[in-house]
Amino acid sequence: MIFYNGKIHTQDEQLPVTEALLILNNKIVQVGSNTAIQALATPDMTIIDLKGRVVLPAFTDSHIHFYEWALNYDGIDLSTAFSFKEMEEAVADKVTNLGKGEWILGNGFNESDWPENKMPDRYDLDRIAPNNPVCIWRCDLHLGVANSLALKFAGIGSKTPDPPDGKIEREADGKPTGVLRELALNLIKDAVPSLSEKIIFSNMVKAMTELHSLGITSIQDVRLMGGLDGADSLQSFQKLNEQDRLNIRCHVSLPGEMTDEAINIGLRTGYGDDRLKIGHLKFFADGGMGARTAWMLEKYVDAEYGMPLTSVKDIESAVSKADGAGLSVMVHSIGDRANREIVSMFERIEETNPERPHIPHRIEHVQMIRPEDLEKMGQLQSITTSCQPNNLSLDISMIEMAVGDKSQYTYTLKSILNNKLPLILSSDAPVCDPNPFMGIFSAVTRKRMNNTPEKGWHMEQALTVEEAVAGYTIAPAIASGVKNVLGSITPGKFADIIVLDKDIFSIDPEQIKNIKIDITVFDGQIVYEKS
């Protein structure tokens, strides 16, 4: 296959921009000028005239809850409910399509951006769906709201104690309000009937197809708190791979709770084949700012300090063991207190074990961090920062309500780069829309999807388009130990490339979120073409 007459931004310093490339089988074998590459054409080749369009290495989403996203692929998408009323309408709509007693699950509501700014409770959902169990998850996945029937099926009543690391919100008399935080949500998950393997696999294939249409061909599938889905997700990815249906390159993360098991059987991060590899062990230092469970140095404007989810001492002992065994870790850390503690933890680990892992450890989100801690983090030998710019545009109002004038310490993407830290970008879907162009738009303009605030939000932390694109291409390849085969358009690497319908480097930044993919090539095959 030959692509010519394009603006090929290779992400390779040897030849940053070129016109044409040649793919044989699943590899890029040559890049260069139109004349040089066209001279290599043979009659059996597919020849594609790019007509001046931009080509990039295909995107990596470095933090996506792909498995959970696929499981809920048929659930209600509440990220497009822009008011309390629209949320109610979306749930009501589902009720009319389902039989009595069938579960209704929804994802992605963001009450802090609704004009009503009101958290739903069980009674609101009971009014709309009296005969169906309902549970809807907030966009950050740290909080959900269940109706009375769902609470009943999950066995959650006035006398149910809060589970460890979870909270059941209650009325004065102890009766649950329907609002569940952190691991209390697993009581609901346990009560929802499981899907058949056939549905799970067909949903995973649908989800992969959607990612191809967004230019994504590599992912890091990340575990949620509690690690309940660890074995199921890894099994499902392996079975799809055996059936040649895994059309994506995937690092599957493991639950931190399984550190000892992983060490005892000798697993190492990066083990696997070209499509499926063992990823990082996932730990949680704290919760989320929207649920006020992120762990803060100073009190929230409207709440206490949040909380550590797993104690730093427990994380540290697991990470020390994993570090010595070739297992890299990713630690979810949002609040400025959590980030201070986790940076100090990695300092101690690097001191006690000077041998660095072959694939760097990661801190996930780094959503609020003080400059002095970021500076310390920049001194670490082997840390990647993993940030979610799509979240930024969702979080502006919530963060101002939660931390007021300390919002300058949140989403400090430019300071991360200024401290010479590797920065990888991702969607955290289903927390946010998986579209990388929305992420690049957010990182560059620091605006909501409706282009507010007009001048952007803390613009001193804005990235350039080039920096944001690197966060979805070459940076993740380096961070996950696959830079010899992925991340840039370089001869010898896998032919995972995308063709954009507009020039991302010259377009008005507000328009970046509207860019569409024309063609996605994965492993040398066209897997998506805009009709």
Chain contacts with Zn ion (rule: CB under 5 A): 428
Residue number with CB closer to Zn ion (64 or 489): 64
Greatest alpha-carbon pair distance for the chain in Å reads: 80
Residue number with CB closer to Zn ion (257 or 518): 257
Tokens of 327: 């297992």
Tokens of 500: 């954009």
CB 56, min distance to Zn ion, A: 25
CB 222, min distance to Zn ion, A: 5
CB 221, min distance to Zn ion, A: 10
Q: Alpha carbon of 315 to those of 285, 296, 308: distances in Å?
A: 8, 18, 11
Residue number with CB closer to Zn ion (165 or 428): 428
Tokens of 426: 């991702």
Residue number with CB closer to Zn ion (179 or 330): 330
Peptide bond into 371 cis (omega under 30): no
AA letter at 111: E
Phi, psi of 327 (to 5 degrees): -100, 120
Residue nearest to Zn ion (CB): 428
Handedness of CA 268, 384, 522, 197 (dihedral sign): positive
Phi, psi of 267 (to 5 degrees): -70, 145
Residue number with CB closer to Zn ion (429 or 512): 429
What CA–CA distance (Å, rounded) separates 447 from 510?
9
CB 253, min distance to Zn ion, A: 10
CB 4, min distance to Zn ion, A: 40
Residue number with CB closer to Zn ion (139 or 208): 139
Give the DSSP per-residue string, 468-518: HHHHHTHHHHHHTT-TTTSSS--TTSB--EEEESS-TTTS-GGGGGG--EE
Q: Alpha carbon of 204 to those of 200, 234, 240, 242: distances in Å?
A: 6, 13, 9, 14
The total of other beta-carbon atoms located within 10 Å of residue 74's CB is: 12
Residue number with CB closer to Zn ion (108 or 326): 108
Handedness of CA 27, 29, 30, 35 (dihedral sign): negative
CB 287, min distance to Zn ion, A: 11
The three-state secondary structure class of 272 is strand
Residue number with CB closer to Zn ion (134 or 429): 429
CB 380, min distance to Zn ion, A: 22
Peptide bond into 308 cis (omega under 30): no
Contact, 65 vs 429, CB < 8 A? Answer: yes
CB 410, min distance to Zn ion, A: 17
Residue number with CB closer to Zn ion (32 or 476): 476
CB 125, min distance to Zn ion, A: 25
Which single residue is written with the structure tokens 């080749």? 45
What CA–CA distance (Å, rounded) separates 341 from 356?
20
Chain CA centroid to CA 95, Å: 30
